[in-house]
Amino acid sequence: MTLQTNLQHVETAAGLEKLIQENENVMVCCGRMGPMCVPVYAIMEDLEKSGKYDHIVFTDMLFDIPEAHIIRNAPECAGFMGLPFTVYYKNGKIVEATSSIQNLDMVIDILDDVFAK
């Protein structure tokens, strides 16, 4: 099962590890097709299409699959209560993580801060 988005889907922990090792900047939204997650996916799709953030890989991961433990159990996500868990990787390491709904300005602030060219 995959999420109904136009983003690249990560379906395994090994797939995520490979992705973050092969790409300097990766944003992963781990969630469901729920009311708090869908707006974040839409923001990511729009940013990916904009071309302004070509130096970032935008991807999603289904929260409920066993393989999502790689995000669910990350120390940076400890204490998160609301979906989605959005994790930002730079050079293979988590540099930022947020939970719950995000708006465009919040996402752009993080992207511009942690993934500055």
Domain span at residue 33? 8-114
pLDDT at 38: 97
Tell me, yes or no, whether 72 lies in a domain: yes
Residue 4, pLDDT above cutoff 80: yes
Residue 2, pLDDT above cutoff 90: no
pLDDT at 7: 97
CA distances 15 to 69, 82, 114, Å, are 13, 24, 22
Query: CATH number of the domain that 96 lies in?
Result: 3.40.30.10
Tell me, yes or no, whether 27 lies in a domain: yes
pLDDT at 117: 66
Q: pLDDT tens for residues 64-108?
A: 999 999 999 999 999 999 999 999 999 999 999 999 999 999 999
Tell me, yes or no, whether 28 lies in a domain: yes
pLDDT at 82: 95
Tell me, yes or no, whether 2 lies in a domain: no
Q: What is the mean pLDDT of the chain?
A: 96
Tell me, yes or no, whether 3 lies in a domain: no
Q: pLDDT tens for residues 26-51?
A: 999 999 999 999 999 999 999 999 99
29 SS3 class: strand
Tell me, yes or no, whether 1 lies in a domain: no
CA dihedral 58, 64, 65, 71 (to 10 degrees): 50
DSSP per position, 43-97: HHHHHHHHSTTTTSEEEEEETTSGGGHHHHT-GGGTT--SSPEEEEEETTEEEEE
Q: Full-prediction pTM beyond 0.95?
A: yes
Residue 1, pLDDT above cutoff 80: no
Q: pLDDT tens for residues 5-25?
A: 999 999 999 999 999 999 999
